[in-house]
Structure 1
Amino acid sequence: MPSPIAINPVSPSHSIFKKMSKSPTNLPASAASYLSAVSQADAHARARSLATTVTPTTTPPLSMSSSVTVFSDDNVLREGEPKMFDNDDGLSYPPIPPTSEQVFTTVHSEFGHCANEEYRFTSQHPPGKPVPHHKELDPPYYILLSTYISYMILICLGHLRDFFGKRLKPSAYTHLLPHNGYAPLNSDFDSFYTRRLKLRIDDCFSTPVTGVPGRTIICYDRETQDYNANLHTTGRRTRGLNISSYNYLGFAQARGGCADAVAEVISRYGVSCCGARLEGGSLDLHQTAERLIAQFVGQEDSIISSMGFATNSTIIPALVGKGCLIISDEFNHASIRFGVRLSGASVRTFKHNSMKSFENLLREVISQGQPKTHRPWKKILVIVEGLYSMEGSIVDLPKVLELKKKYKFFLFVDEAHSIGAMGAHGRGVAEYYGIDPRSIDILMGTFTKSFGAAGGYVAGKKNLMDHIRVRGHSGPYAEAMSPPVLTQVMASMASIMGVAPEPPKSANGTSSNTLIPYPGPAPAHMLPNWFDLPPSLKDGTEGLIRLRRLAFNARYLSRGLKKLGFITYGSDDSPIVPLMLFNPGKMCAFSRMMKQRATPIFTVVVAYPATPLVTSRVRFCLSAAHTKDDVDLILKACDEIGDWLDLKQGVGERWSLQEIMDRAVELVHMDID
């Protein structure tokens, strides 16, 4: 019987991402052999064509037709043969062999090849200019009305089904009714949204993946016979363009300098901490990483945690307690809210990124003091995020610091999404605004986004970090981060910073351990002596290219969508671009239509309760791994689907899709009020 809901039942036959029926058996054994073959082929071609060779500047679009070149025994790419190669998993990807002017050390399916220097931008707020306040546009009234009506129909029909179902088919509702003397674990109210809305679009969430979530991603195809109550894999896999991962700098790679460093540390330390040398209760590698992180963010000291969520939820209680006040942005992450509840401190929230609301609240809480007693607060801690993941908005940090000097509170900035993704050197929102990071009391961040690893950190003054080591829950109770994860953090961070050469030795034969001023490169003595990155990573060249590619991709997609007529939220410099869908029925339609294109595109759709009821959206997560052609592909898909779903409700001047693609560089660099 055919599936009631067809979920990508057949991969498009003309997609280059389709699983190859038979993969070549004599592929290059490593990236080194691939580059060697490229170098020989380039020399061979140049000897024959001399100056007639034209250097390609970008990678062909993902939708180009596929053909497979089988490597010969000498691993030399023959001139005139089709320039398409298979990855070792049998899935094709279309790199053009680079010439000597553009040698790529990355696998194209994981990190896109792009040598055109015009497709670069620097993530930095223009000095002297006021921070723009992005006004969130409202859709036409008929969009809001239809959205509310959709929810009303959903709720009414859902309750009718529950009413009759419990009486006519009680076996299907045993988990919601008292059974064998036990109370139900789930109440009707708690599970209603999950059963009546999320279940219907569950194929858009939690898609099982395999392989590296880089520029492309491989997902298992699924189908259902019972309207998403159960989803079963079909045995087929689909590779598509990945616009759904927080892989901001593209360090989620299986090959390259960072992966080589991880392989080296496994041979030295093992996968776990067991049997490794300890110093002061922790691995020497942990202490090395903490020093490097402090240097990276421009603080005196740092503490690492094995889990990003736990970094906030276990450290906030060590900072404040009863008699203290926490002032929090209304859109702060759940980990912050959880940590606030554990602390026992009072909490007040202000309107998202509204400095007027923030200052009014400050005046009120300072003048009124603690509830009932009206005594002064022991401590006031303000918690904001550098980049808000659901909104794509950037905190107005200059104004927050201005109010900090005026009202004397402590500032905690969560840079989970901004660290490594913003600023000319990737140092986060403080560098983005040109602000001294030491004017912020506590900087928090995670390694799960830009660094392609796991865990998190807090950084600040050394005496404060020593206090958190003793009083924070993550120190005595949490697991230590494993050496491979630590090495991935240090390798990717050092690649962003660059590594300074070892300073000359003094007369007594010792090297100087003087720190390099922020935001300079990583001093060589801060890295393990066995740590050896490739030259392009060690000198910081590749890290800078990744930062500038990410900044270009983010501005290009955000501004391109606006010129097409869509309503988007957040800053143009944010690597997260929320495109508003509003109606809940359009979430599943948008997600499925993107996956069913000739070149599948995997996206993230978000709805209530993660967002307000009527502001359902799709979040595009840009990466340095994407090329300009990839963003063109996304814009083309959005342009077509937007017409079908009536999503173009924005205001302002509109451009055609072709004009946007042709004037991409101009669009990214122009001043837009």
Structure 2
Amino acid sequence: MSDSFGLSCEAKAKLLARMAARAPGALEARVPEPKAALGRSEVIDDLAMVRRAGEALQIDNPYFRAHEGIAGATTVIDGRTYDNFVSYNYLGLNGDPRVNQAAKDAIDRYGTSVSASRIVSGERLIHRELERALADVYEAEDCVTMVSGHATNVTVIGHLVDRNDLVVHDALSHNSIVQGALMSGARRVVFPHNDLAELDRMLAQIRSTAERALIVVEGHYSMDGDVPDLPRLIEIANRHRAHLMVDEAHSLGVLGPRGLGIAEHWRVDPREVDVWMGTLSKTLSGCGGYIAGPAALIDYLKCSAPGFVYSVGLPPPIAAAALESLSILLAEPERVAKLQVNSQAFLAALKGHGLDTGASIGSAIVPVMTGSSIVAARVADVLFGEGVNVQPIIYPAVPENGARLRFFLSNLHDRQQTDRVAAVVASCIAFSRETAIDLASLASRLAAN
């Protein structure tokens, strides 16, 4: 006779007997071991140490603060208005009514997404309009836009050269350049920041070891606010039969009388640079990246670069906003002039207070070197309390002796504001140095945790 589960009484008894005979803990042994946390252990440890140090110093976390509206010369955080120096809104075009309207019109015509990669079915007229306008800036044959500035460098550099080649880049190159060089499989060589004599020497030694060589630099370095000597770079690249790629992320709209970038700054023909890269998220108040250059190069990337072929096309409102921003940049060079005046005034005011501004040329990016991560973090925290929003750049993002406060200027700032903030910065730094931290005690507390 069987029960409702199909087992006879005898079979059920045998099953229970077998279960009872199993060794104690046999069922528990089947439970899998806990999984190790994902992520690189050294990074996890560094983050934990920074957080513990912040708690020990009673410094609030300065990152991920939510802005309640458009961030320009001022911004609102938690209901309070701050002097703002953390945005890349260099020409104040993010939030400009004309830019907003262009984005809204694009939504009405195209929607919010193209819903596919452009090579499949995501191509829209607005893409080519923007790319043609960007190509004209560089007097280039063509241009291609992508949905991420970081991904643009990664996928393009990774797809231009291979293991038989050589990538040589500046020591302060953006992470996206480094990752692109690593992805390519090419031999990667780093030259000291803006040391073109050393670049020349290195190429003389190693150029013959590779089939092709690609030199990658930035037009305006976002950490230091300085620029490379573009005419000399072009001469070095040509002499060593190397290709030259320039990342204009922080130089379009900032350098040159009309804001056309480092080529205009140095008064050189932009066609002497093989590959121009830039972003849409700063001066052009959108999001994404672009590459401008010869038509054959752009066609190659559009048909085969993974970050373009396998990624959705740029959203129409973003493309339209960038195109309108570029049109305003070209039509209103006074915006660029005001940005440059503001930056020079701020640089001079800081130096007037005896502060170290590093190698900055005073074009939108001005660091204040503190030489200590603790000083940078403490001063940024005190400044926030005084109504000034600026980010500390600390180890390991920079070497410990390179810790700094990093100020981004815009045409929306004014002389009264920059002079006042420079005085507050000097006062806060002086106060921080007068009330030095007992590093031995801090280290002991961190070790105890």
- Cα pair 2:138 2:271 within 8 Å, conserved: no
**Structure 1 counterpart of 2:179, one-letter code:** F
Match of 2:355, SS? coil
Structure 1 counterpart of 2:134:
293
Matched, 1:476 2:309: yes
Question: How much has 1:559 moved relative to structure 2?
Answer: 2.0
Choose from 29, 35, 38 the match for 1:182. 35
Matched, 1:611 2:398: yes
Distance change in 2, residues 1:644/1:465 (3 Å): same
- Cα pair 2:372 2:400 within 8 Å, conserved: no
**Structure 2 counterpart of 1:584, one-letter code:** S
Structure 1 counterpart of 2:84:
242
Choose from 404, 416, 434 the match for 2:237. 404
Structure 2 counterpart of 1:639:
426
Structure 1 counterpart of 2:368:
579
1:517-538 CA-to-partner distances (Å, cap 9, x unmatched) read: xxxxxxxxxxxxxxxxxxxxxx
Distance change in 2, residues 1:196/1:202 (3 Å): farther
- Rounded to whole Å, the distance in 1 between the matches of 2:34 and 2:406 is 45
- Rounded to whole Å, the distance in 2 between the matches of 1:187 and 1:242 is 34
- Rounded to whole Å, the distance in 2 between the matches of 1:642 and 1:475 is 46
Question: How much has 1:571 moved relative to structure 2?
Answer: 3.0
**Structure 2 counterpart of 1:575, one-letter code:** A
Question: How much has 1:183 moved relative to structure 2?
Answer: 3.4
**Structure 2 counterpart of 1:359, one-letter code:** D
- Rounded to whole Å, the distance in 1 between the matches of 2:357 and 2:80 is 29
**Structure 1 counterpart of 2:111, one-letter code:** G
1:196-237 CA-to-partner distances (Å, cap 9, x unmatched) read: 2245145222212221112211113xxxxxxxxxxxxxxxx2
Structure 1 counterpart of 2:292:
459
Distance change in 2, residues 1:279/1:190 (3 Å): closer
Question: How much has 1:550 moved relative to structure 2?
Answer: 0.5
Match of 1:413, SS? strand
Match of 1:312, SS? helix
**Structure 2 counterpart of 1:193, one-letter code:** D
Question: How much has 1:191 moved relative to structure 2?
Answer: 2.5
1:522-574 CA-to-partner distances (Å, cap 9, x unmatched) read: xxxxxxxxxxxxxxxxxx2xx21210010011111112211210111223233
1:133-185 CA-to-partner distances (Å, cap 9, x unmatched) read: xxxxxxxxxxxxxxxxxxxxxxxxxxxxxxxxxxxxxxxxxxxxxx9443354
Matched, 1:313 2:154: yes
Structure 1 residue ranges without an equivalent (≥5): 1-178, 221-236, 370-376, 498-539, 648-673
**Structure 2 counterpart of 1:568, one-letter code:** T
Distance change in 2, residues 1:417/1:181 (3 Å): same
- Rounded to whole Å, the distance in 2 between the matches of 1:400 and 1:439 is 10
Structure 2 counterpart of 1:359:
200
Match of 1:205, SS? coil
- Rounded to whole Å, the distance in 1 between the matches of 2:155 and 2:43 is 27
Structure 2 counterpart of 1:558:
347
- Cα pair 2:342 2:410 within 8 Å, conserved: yes
Match of 1:408, SS? coil
Match of 2:405, SS? strand
Question: How much has 1:634 moved relative to structure 2?
Answer: 1.2
Distance change in 2, residues 1:360/1:272 (3 Å): same
Distance change in 2, residues 1:364/1:448 (3 Å): same
Distance change in 2, residues 1:572/1:186 (3 Å): closer
Question: How much has 1:292 moved relative to structure 2?
Answer: 1.0
Map of 1:225-304 to 2, 5 A cutoff? 237-253=79-95, 255-273=96-114, 282-304=123-145
Task: Supply the RMSD in Å over aligned alpha carbons.
Answer: 2.1
Question: How much has 1:412 moved relative to structure 2?
Answer: 0.4
Choose from 361, 380, 386 the match for 1:591. 380
**Structure 1 counterpart of 2:123, one-letter code:** S
- Cα pair 2:355 2:426 within 8 Å, conserved: no
- Rounded to whole Å, the distance in 2 between the matches of 1:290 and 1:187 is 39
Choose from 193, 211, 219 the match for 1:386. 219
Structure 2 residue ranges without an equivalent (≥5): 1-31, 435-449
1:445-480 CA-to-partner distances (Å, cap 9, x unmatched) read: 001111111001000011111111122112211111
Distance change in 2, residues 1:184/1:454 (3 Å): closer
Residue range with higher mean Cα deviation, 637-646 or 437-446: 637-646
1:51-75 CA-to-partner distances (Å, cap 9, x unmatched) read: xxxxxxxxxxxxxxxxxxxxxxxxx
Question: How much has 1:279 moved relative to structure 2?
Answer: 10
